[in-house]
Amino acid sequence: QVQLQESGPGLVKPSQTLSLTCTVSGGSISSGGYYWSWIRQHPGKGLEWIGYIYYSGSTYYNPSLKSRVTISVDTSKNQFSLKLSSVTAADTAVYYCASLPEMATIGYFDYWGQGTLVTVSS
Amino acid sequence: EIVMTQSPATLSVSPGERATLSCRASQSVSSNLAWYQQKPGQAPRLLIYGASTRATGIPARFSGSGSGTEFTLTISSLQSEDFAVYYCQQYNNWPPRLTFGGGTKVEIK
């Protein structure tokens, strides 16, 4: 069973870049069969998809965040990462990494990390 | 963007009773719809995908139905561990723009 674990700073200053890493265990990213995604949840609110990546490096982003988001993959470390630039207080949220099975229609999240709270504040 | 609307926002149910949660899409998503359960302080857990297929390990009391724009999650007999927030999510766009509903909180009556 795939397990995911987010890591990264819990506090980021406004205008800086938020950087998080998700470490995958129980399976190899380079084996394919999954896409790897980031999702966030503002405090007390609903869920927002940020983007996802395949092991080959192909990426798909939420158009509302696309100008500020970069998702990358490091198959040697079995990790994928999120960078969100020019953050403001509105980017304060719990950030989750998750996997999407490579099916005929891609898009539901079967395994999730526990989530990490990132606060944007000076 | 496809907007997902869930109703009701809060559902008060007694243990052992049936719960029916609704999810409506602003345009057809075919059967490309998933349901998740989220408990406080935890990540969401996949319950249903493809509108009606239970995920691995999900009890049979959870069932999903619908297609197009109208979907339902039914919990046939609520157990204490089922009180949580439930989200629907569509995945019908290409290029992808995955969107979630606002959630329904199922609370103890």
Q: Is the pLDDT of residue B41 over 90?
A: yes
If pLDDT is split at 50, 70 and 90, which confidence band does A103 have? Answer: confident
A61 has which bridge partners?
A51
Closest Cα in chain B, distance from residue A42 (Å): 12
B32 and A52 within 8 Å at the Cβ level: the answer is no
> What mean pLDDT is reported for chain B?
96
Arithmetic mean of pLDDT, A59-88: 97
- What is the percent of chain A where pLDDT is above 70? 100
Closest Cα in chain A, distance from residue B54 (Å): 11
Residue B40, classed as helix, strand or coil, is coil
Residues A87 and B106: their CA atoms lie apart, in Å, by: 34
Closest Cα in chain A, distance from residue B91 (Å): 5
Residues from chain B that touch A66, judged by Cβ atoms under 8 A, are: none
If pLDDT is split at 50, 70 and 90, which confidence band does B90 have? Answer: very high
Which chain B residue's Cα is nearest to A6? B43
Residues A117 and B56: their CA atoms lie apart, in Å, by: 28
Residues B70 and B99: their CA atoms lie apart, in Å, by: 15
B14 has which bridge partners?
none
A107 and B91 within 8 Å at the Cβ level: the answer is yes
Residues from chain B that touch A60, judged by Cβ atoms under 8 A, are: 95-96
Q: If we measure between CA atoms, which residue out of A91, A85, A79 comes closest to residue A40?
A: A91
Residues from chain A that touch B102, judged by Cβ atoms under 8 A, are: 46
Residue A5, classed as helix, strand or coil, is strand
